[in-house]
Chain A
Amino acid sequence: MLIVGELINTSRKAIKPAVEKRDAAFIQDLAQKQVDAGADYVDVNCGTMVFNEPETMAWLVETIQAKVQAPLCIDSPNPQAVDVGLSLAKHGQPMLNSITAEKQRFADLLPLVVKYKTKIVGLCMDDSGMPETADDRLRIARKLIQDLTAAGIPEDDIYLDPLVKPVSTGDRAGMEVLETIAAIKDEHPSVHGICGLSNISYGLPNRKTLNQVFMIQTMTMGMDGYILDPLDKTMMGFLYASRATLGQDEFCMKYLAAHRNGLYRG
Chain B
Amino acid sequence: MASYEDLAQCVISGDRDKVKGITTTLIDEGKDPLEIINRGLIGGMAVVGARFKNDEMFVPEVLMSAKTMGLGMELVKPLIADQGMPTSGKVLLGTVQGDMHDIGKNLVGMMLESAGFSVIDIGIDIEPDKFAAAIKKENPDILAMSALLTTTMMHMKDTIDLLKEQGLRNKVKVIIGGAPISQEFADNIGADGFAPDAASAADLCKELIA
Q: List chain A positions with a Cβ less than 8 A from chain B.
A: 11, 47-48, 50, 53, 77-78, 125, 129-130, 165-166, 168-169, 202-205
Contacts and interface: CB of A to CB of B under 8 A. Distances in A.
A132 to B, nearest CB: 11
Q: Which interface class (under 10, 10 to 19, 20 to 34, 35 or more) fits B?
A: 10 to 19
Contacts of A165: 103
Nearest to A100: B100
A203 B58 contact: yes
A77 B100 CA distance: 14
Given A125-B100, A129-B100, A47 B151 contact: yes
Contacts of A50: 150, 153-154
B150 to A, nearest CB: 3
Contacts of B60: 168-169, 203-204
A208 to B, nearest CB: 15
A47 B180 contact: yes
Interface of B: 55, 58-60, 63, 100-103, 106, 124-125, 149-151, 153-154, 179-180
A48 B100 contact: no
B180 A11 contact: yes
B59 A48 contact: no
A178 B99 CA distance: 25
Nearest to B198: A203
A129 to B, nearest CB: 4
Given A168-B58, A204-B58, A78 B151 contact: yes
A192 to B, nearest CB: 24
B109 to A, nearest CB: 13
B166 to A, nearest CB: 24
B59 A166 contact: yes
Given A48-B150, A166-B103, 17 more contacts: A11-B150, A11-B180, A50-B150, A50-B153, A53-B150, A77-B149, A77-B151, A125-B100, A129-B100, A130-B102, A165-B103, A168-B63, A169-B59, A202-B59, A203-B58, A203-B60, A204-B60
